[in-house]
Amino acid sequence: MGESETTGAAVADAAAIEVRGLRKSFGELEVLRGIDVTVRRGEVVCVIGPSGSGKSTLLRCVNLLEEPTSGTVRVAGTEVTDPEVDIDRVRRRIGMVFQSFNLFPHLTALGNLTIAQRRVLGRGRAEAEEVARHNLRRVGLTDKESGYPAQLSGGQQQRVAIARALSMGPELMLFDEPTSALDPELVGDVLAVMRGLADEGMTMLVVTHEMSFAREVADRVVFMDDGLIVEEGPPEQVVGAPRQARTRAFLSRVLDPAAAGGPESGTARPEPPAEPPGRAPEEVRKRPLR
């Protein structure tokens, strides 16, 4: 992503995402109750938490798919919550990957990757297709460019969706439970692609239930519950040795559903090889791709 390096130079000091005092209500229901979170450039932050905790809403507030009730969101120095800001311009710089893929079913994989490049960035057909093919190669789907979404497996569809976002040359990527709609055997391919992006230095904010991904790839993990951030820190702390009781209870449910509810389930978590504490995230990332 050479181009993002150059455009990013001007705002090198600015955080990629800066959320301050974010609140969001749907009618009577307050889903986000004051969120502060910062994602630095090149950082991978995973957001975990029970369903209904507001994780997805937080993510969707970052590119203004949901309008915050109050608070500010800054993306690469631009305040997206400012009514004067042209949100379409900001969104070009933010790649978004959805749980349900949301590929355009009436277009081929290549068409899915080129349409916004051509309509939004004004690229010509040849250039757009070149970028698209490059990104299909990145996600390992070179041979699927003329396939329609309905002809692809869920995992392939999600990888096309990632390639579609990448084709816009985003400075950061938002992932909204990207593997939750996939059959278990297809999850690995998508995670491998995301891991590759992280290795390339992409700034990523990932809402996920994949604890092993969070533990191995994230620089920082944010645990949310009931519209608030309960705990935040390096994965070996938040996932490996959570301080908060609510975090422990959640992790025990997720990691060992059979033992859920047991009084000591929070501590007696089965031990999938935890990262040695203090190990730098960069080292973690050197693991070979799955």
Partner 1 sequence: MSRRNRTRAIRTAQYGMLLAVVLALALAADWGELRRAFFDVEVAKKQFPDVVTTALVNTVIYTVLGFAFGLVLGLLLALMRLSQVPPYRWLAVAYIEFFRGVPALLVFIALGFGVPLAFQVSINQYVTVMLALGLVGAAYMAETIRAGIQAVPRGQTEAARSLGMSPLWAMVSIVIPQAFRIVLPPLANELILLTKDSSLVYLLGLSMDQYELAKFGRDALNQHRSLTPILIAGLFYLAITLPLGHLVRRLEARTAKAR
Which residues sit at the interface with partner 1, rule CB under 8 A? 63, 65, 88-89, 91-92, 94, 96, 98, 100, 102-106, 115-116, 119-121, 150, 161, 164-165, 168
- Nearest-approach distance from CB 205 to partner 1, in angstroms: 13
Say which amino acid occupies 96.
M
- For 196, residues 6+ apart whose C-beta sits below 8 A from its C-beta are 138, 289
When the beta carbons of 119 and 287 are compared against partner 1, the nearer one is 119
- Nearest-approach distance from CB 163 to partner 1, in angstroms: 12
When the beta carbons of 157 and 208 are compared against partner 1, the nearer one is 157
When the beta carbons of 11 and 65 are compared against partner 1, the nearer one is 65
- For 34, residues 6+ apart whose C-beta sits below 8 A from its C-beta are 21, 22, 23, 71, 227, 228
When the beta carbons of 65 and 228 are compared against partner 1, the nearer one is 65
User: Cα separation of 195 and 230, whole Å?
Assistant: 26
- Nearest-approach distance from CB 119 to partner 1, in angstroms: 5
- Nearest-approach distance from CB 101 to partner 1, in angstroms: 8
- Nearest-approach distance from CB 91 to partner 1, in angstroms: 4
Neighbours of 145 (CB within 10 A): 20
**What is the residue whose two structure tokens read 């891991």?**
195
When the beta carbons of 47 and 94 are compared against partner 1, the nearer one is 94
- Nearest-approach distance from CB 195 to partner 1, in angstroms: 22
When the beta carbons of 104 and 285 are compared against partner 1, the nearer one is 104
